[in-house]
Chain A
Amino acid sequence: MRRLFRLPLRSPARIQSDADDELASFLDARSDDLVARGLSPAEARDEALRRLATGETLEATRARLRRSAKRREERVRVSDFIDEISHDVQFAVRQLVRTPGFTVVAVLSLALGIGATSAIFSVVYSVLLRPLPFAHAERLVSLRERNGRDDTQGMVVTAGNYGSWLALAHDFEALAAYGYGSATLTGAGEPQSLQLLRASAGYWKAMYLPPTAGRYFGADEDHPGAPAVIVISQHLWQSAFGSDPRIVGRDITLGGRPYTVIGVAPAEYALAGGLTDAWIPLALSASQLAEHSDHEYAVVGLVRQGVPQSRAIDDLTTVETSLAHEYPGGFFDGGIITQPLSDAVVGSARQLLLILLGAVLLVLLIACSNISSLLLARAGARETEIAVRGALGAGHGRIVRQLLAESLVLAMAGAVIGLAVAAAGLRFLVTMTPQGSVPRLDEASLNAPVLAFTIAIALGCGIVFGLYPALRAANPELQQLLREGSRGTGGGMGARLREALVIAEVAIALVLLVAAGLLVRSAMLVQRVDPGFDPANVLVAGISLPDARYQTDDARRGVLDRIASLVGAVPGVAQVAMVSRIPIGDGGFDCRLRAEGADERAFIIASVRSASPDFPKTMRVPLVAGRFFSPSDVAAGPPVAVLTRSLAHRLFGEADPVGRRVVDCTSGSTEAPLMRTVVGVIGDMHANGLQRDPTNEIYVPIAQVVLEHSMKLLVLGSVAVTSLVPAIRRAVAAVDPLLPLARVRTMDEIVARSLAVSRFTTLLLLSLGGMGLTLAVIGIYGVIAYFVAQRRREIGVRIALGATAGRVVRLVVREGVTLAVIGVAVGCAAALALSRAIGSLLYEGVSARDPLTIISVALLIALVAACASAIPAWRAARTNPTTALRT
């Protein structure tokens, strides 16, 4: 070994006296020399001092030398430290290279664990931890109106209440109110349907980001009668206007009306209210501001600088409470439900991400305990080497540091490969995640915070899995034992600990697999849920009718009828229908429905859809009683409605609902309620998603209520319906060339998409569970192989005494299965304890403590553990007793 460096001087006093000694010794030597040349000792001394430093005192020279010596010692200490570290690292690398099998297994399992963790963390960082891009994002709160004490979600805000808030809630610097709409853009290429946001002027003040071009609209433009201005999104600017630099000031036609473009908003605004193509002023009219029961607008508030958020909310609650007294029956009780905007943006993705992060950390934990176990076994095999190093004078600390260096080198190698894994994993996550289900996901990248996180967890892992084995291996008492030549006991404590680690690994893997298994069960059950309609070979396309050209309901019905008849005439089209919203996915109009004569408060919240007569035939929704609409249900005829089966049951019980009347909830008037006669009942549909219960639905004929100015065209094909798309487009264009078909999709796609998030979560948890199981199996295999190696002599004796191969295999496999069974028991307890965490992700029919899932996973793990032990067992059974006994 090459000579290490002299020990640097530690204390400042030592450094000073060292420098002083050197100076004194120099002066002595010079004096001696001068005396030898014939000067008297006193003269020699004076001359030596004179020549020491010209033009300064002895004290000054001494101080100078002390400083340079101090500097020298400091530098030497730092570079010694670096040298020692690099020496330890080189030594560790040599040791690791010497055992490539161990190193590859360890580095790869760490790389998987660290890589998966970093990939998920980069998503969590981007979605949950990173602040919103707006100035003062921390002061932004989403504000909703509470409707009853047990309401935790709240409702969007009525125009009238928003107006009162704006006038009376002074603790808010700005209030953003916005509502969604759509409109058709014409005159810029093909007519296209735009997502429109009607926003108050406060929208831009509350959520401010500098415009890409031009400016935003202000309060003077946010009132009825102001010039029609519009802000367009960066995306629309690029896609429809080719990034025209002169876009500001240009007039564009939206829904047949001209708007002047005043600005372009940057892409980040997609965070506040989803993908928006353009913004126009809310411009609430006096009659809208008098409306206090129609909850229509999302509101975001910017709390005034320096005002505590709680005070602002209390103040607003006071305003809201007096509004609730003034306007009873407006579906708000005076309470305000708030949420930081960042949380509101993330929404339900938060829980999903936290569960994934938890799962991936569990996988990392398994990887770490695996490596800890491998290191313990390795330390056992290196006991002699370590004892020799101790005997040669390496201190306890030094040995620990060298062993720790090995695990840190492993961890860093794992981190480097792990980053490659993370990059691949992240790309997989971003491409596989159903679009729009996790906000801000596309901004996730392996940025500086993620790199720091990766390095931190790698270091953490290195210390966690390396420290105990290192301390144990360097334990002087243990070395004493070794020197005394005791045999076979050396592994005792280590073996016990390794068994505990394997038990923990099995338990964690079980928790992961149970979670994945529960999701799989849910997915299987959801798959079997009958949506209530048959999505096969049905095409869906959006048609939005511009207000400017279709000003009356008659005009709207006319064009819808013409489209239906022309599309119906396309060869290959079996059925055509129109519906205001398709019966899957959230959204639509909710209304309070009650039977005629029932108590005013005995209402049921139901969603209203308007449909054309052929709706059940196109969607193949079964008719349960009565009839669906017919061409004779005209605007002037008696008002009719069709209910879904469970809604009819809720309203009328066992009685026949056909012929009964319900209070019409589509007309705003509450003084003289209009009655609708129920003419039929259709089957239930899972309109809020297959995972949820069927919803209450009431259908009204388009001929009587148009309900929305954008409709869905449904086409059932007698041939593959996707092949009919061009012909359908031509048919629509023949009716009105300025009407675009928006979002043409098949019903199958829509149903699949509604399940995509849960399917994706299932897939992800399943792969994490698989990873956990694989790592746990490696752990079991390692421990059992070690067990066999330790018992070689004993097994040899047994075989020599006539034990059959079967007996030996059973002995070894029993060891593995015992560990697995203990792990399974611990894991089951943990899974039951953690069941609440996953409950909300499960389909209603599956309990988070589903015994079938838990038992299957437990059996799977026991089986896999038996297989993992079988390989070393089989090898043990082939032990040659003579060689085993001789060594």
Chain B
Amino acid sequence: MALLKGTLDVLVLKTLSWAPMHAFEITKWLEDRSGGRLAVEDAALMQALHRLEERRILSAEWGITDKGRRARYYRLTGTGRAHLRAETKRLTEYADTLTTILAARSARG
């Protein structure tokens, strides 16, 4: 399934809350977690990473992968953690509300 608009950022942040990762690891992690149901476009992900770094939500530095290749590792900054908390709360509440409303309708119908 395609991503809902505006949810990619928070998914990336959630992923990085476990450990610093490079771009492919993030994609991989999201694909695995969603059981392959989430389709993240690779270029869009990398652009999102650039954008988040620009906003000081992420910081990045070059490192070496366990396969011995160079990769740009991203990590959450302090600002990033706060942002993740706030976004998680907002989205959860939104999803709850959505669920309540949709469930109510289906019960009546």
Contact = CB atoms under 8 A, between A and B. Distances in A.
A32 interface: yes
A53 B72 contact: no
A385 B49 CA distance: 41
Interface string B67-89: 10111100000000000000000
A30 interface: yes
Contacts of A64: 43, 47
Contacts of B53: 72, 76
A52 B42 contact: yes
Interface in B5-51: 22-25, 27-28, 41-43, 46-47, 50-51
Given A21-B70, A26-B24, A53 B54 contact: no
9 A-B pairs with the lowest CB-CB distances in the bound complex, closest first: A29-B24, A72-B54, A68-B50, A53-B43, A75-B54, A72-B50, A61-B43, A25-B71, A68-B47
B24 A65 contact: no
A67 to B, nearest CB: 9
A89 B16 CA distance: 34
A30 B40 CA distance: 13
A69 B61 contact: no
A417 B43 CA distance: 54
Interface residues of B, number: 25
Given A29-B69, A72-B53, A75-B54, A22 B47 contact: no
Contact of A79 (B25, B43, B56): B56
25 contacts: A5-B59, A6-B59, A6-B61, A21-B72, A22-B23, A23-B46, A25-B22, A25-B24, A25-B69, A25-B70, A25-B72, A26-B23, A29-B25, A29-B65, A29-B71, A33-B24, A52-B42, A65-B50, A68-B46, A72-B50, A72-B54, A75-B54, A76-B53, A76-B54, A79-B56
B51 A72 contact: yes
B61 A52 contact: no
Contacts of B60: 6
Contact of A65 (B46, B59, B67, B70): B46
Nearest to A18: B72
Interface string A24-46: 01101110110000000000000
Given A26-B23, A71-B50, 11 more contacts: A5-B59, A6-B61, A22-B23, A25-B71, A26-B24, A29-B67, A33-B24, A52-B42, A65-B50, A68-B47, A76-B53
A26 B51 CA distance: 17
Give the one of B41, B50, B65 with max A CB within 10 A: B50
Contacts, number: 68
Contacts of B28: 33
A65 B24 CA distance: 15
Interface in A42-77: 51-54, 61, 64-65, 68-69, 71-72, 75-76
A26 B65 contact: no
B84 to A, nearest CB: 20
A61 B45 CA distance: 12
A3 to B, nearest CB: 10
A167 B27 CA distance: 90
Contacts of A28: 69
Contacts of A53: 41-43
B41 A54 contact: yes
B67 A32 contact: yes
A68 B47 CA distance: 6
A44 B28 CA distance: 15
A25 B70 CA distance: 7
B46 A26 contact: yes
Contacts of A25: 22-24, 69-72
Contacts of A21: 70, 72
Contacts of A79: 56
Interface of A: 5-6, 21-23, 25-26, 28-30, 32-33, 51-54, 61, 64-65, 68-69, 71-72, 75-76, 79
A258 B100 CA distance: 87
A65 B43 contact: yes
Contacts of A23: 46
Nearest to A62: B43
A29 B31 CA distance: 15
Contacts of A33: 24, 28
A71 to B, nearest CB: 7
A681 B41 CA distance: 112
A230 B62 CA distance: 85
Interface string B84-105: 0000000000000000000000
Given A61-B43, A68-B50, A22 B24 contact: no
Nearest to B23: A26
Nearest to A29: B24
Contacts of B59: 5-6
Nearest to B44: A53
Contacts of A52: 42-43
Contacts of A68: 46-47, 50-51
A189 to B, nearest CB: 71
Contacts of A22: 23, 46, 71-72
A94 B42 CA distance: 47
A53 B24 CA distance: 14
A61 B69 CA distance: 22
Contacts of B42: 26, 30, 51-53
A51 B40 CA distance: 10
A28 B22 CA distance: 12
A531 B24 CA distance: 99
A157 to B, nearest CB: 71
Contacts of A61: 43
Contacts of A69: 50
Nearest to A33: B28
A385 to B, nearest CB: 29
B66 to A, nearest CB: 11
Give the one of B22, B54, B56, B65 with max A CB within 10 A: B54
Contacts of A76: 53-54
B53 to A, nearest CB: 6
B35 to A, nearest CB: 16
Nearest to A36: B67
A28 B60 CA distance: 19
A2 to B, nearest CB: 10
A87 B28 CA distance: 39
Contacts of A5: 59
Given A22-B72, A61-B43, A29 B22 contact: yes
B45 to A, nearest CB: 9
Contact of B54 (A30, A51, A65, A71): A71
Nearest to B42: A52
B34 to A, nearest CB: 16
Give the one of B25, B42, B60 with max A CB within 10 A: B42
Contacts of B65: 29
Contacts of B72: 21-22, 25
A53 B56 CA distance: 26
B77 to A, nearest CB: 9
Contacts of A29: 22-25, 65, 67, 69, 71
A6 B75 CA distance: 13
A39 to B, nearest CB: 15
Contacts of B61: 6
A25 B69 CA distance: 7
Nearest to A83: B56
Nearest to A52: B42
A28 B71 CA distance: 10
Contacts of A51: 42
Nearest to B40: A51
Contacts of A32: 67, 69
B46 to A, nearest CB: 6
Contacts of A65: 43, 46-47, 50
Give the one of A32, A53, A68 with max B CB within 10 A: A68
A599 B11 CA distance: 110
Nearest to A48: B42
B63 to A, nearest CB: 10
Contacts of B41: 53-54
A850 B45 CA distance: 84
